[in-house]
Amino acid sequence: MCGRYVSASPPDELAKYFGVVAPPPDLTLAPNHNVAPTQTVYAVRERDGARSLDALHWGLVPFWAKDPRIGNRMINARAETVATKNAFRAALTRRRCIIPADGFYEWRRLEGSKHKQPMFISRPDGEPFAFAGLWEQWSDKDNPDEGEPFELHSCTIITCEANEALAKVHDRMPVVLAPGAWDLWLDPAISDAEAVTSLLVPAPPGLIRMHPVSTEVNSARNNGAHLIEPAEPLDIFST
């Protein structure tokens, strides 16, 4: 799964990298080195023929949901079942997005210990990952405010089987889209599930580098660039 990641690149750099004409001037999220579920995150979408950089709620809330808290359990969608799961299949055909990430965290089990070693995973070239995502628009039609229903735009990150480089740490990883796949993935006119699910494969091992980091990242309350700094591996014999 992908439950924590880093989003520290400024919106103007992300807009340039992903081919967005220009981000809205008021679209500025604070650099976040410990992004956690239910927080607001950047996402790249294509609507009405234009590509945009937007801010979405992380934790997909299906349009049919009665309670938006269902999104707390929808931070990830499995590539193997995304086309058949009721929560995701409609979004797969019409509402796909890219979620930029400067890196992500996974926790490696330590043999003979109850502790886990947090690892920071990033690209060797320093460029951001382009996670395959889905988005939804949910409206609170039962409790409209001043005659207009509250709208929530939310997203989820698609995961797949880990590649050879990451398998030693975790059995899953986010789907990373190559630049050549962005146009196909973002195009809402392409509704063929088979055409887009063919992109949901593990990233090449060479796209992954990783190192151990401090257990401070275990708590979503901790933040700051120091979280991604290399740390000494945990001593499995410590108490």
Q: Tell me which residues are annotated as active site.
A: 2, 106
Distance CA(155)–CA(165), nearest Å, equals 27
Output DSSP code: residue 55. E
**DSSP string over 22-41:** ---TT--PPPEEEE-TTSEE
Structure tokens at 128: 């951001």
Buried b (16+ CB within 10 A) or exposed e, 208-226: bebeebbeebeeeeebeee
Distance CA(127)–CA(123), nearest Å, equals 6
Contact by Cβ (8 Å): 98, 185: yes
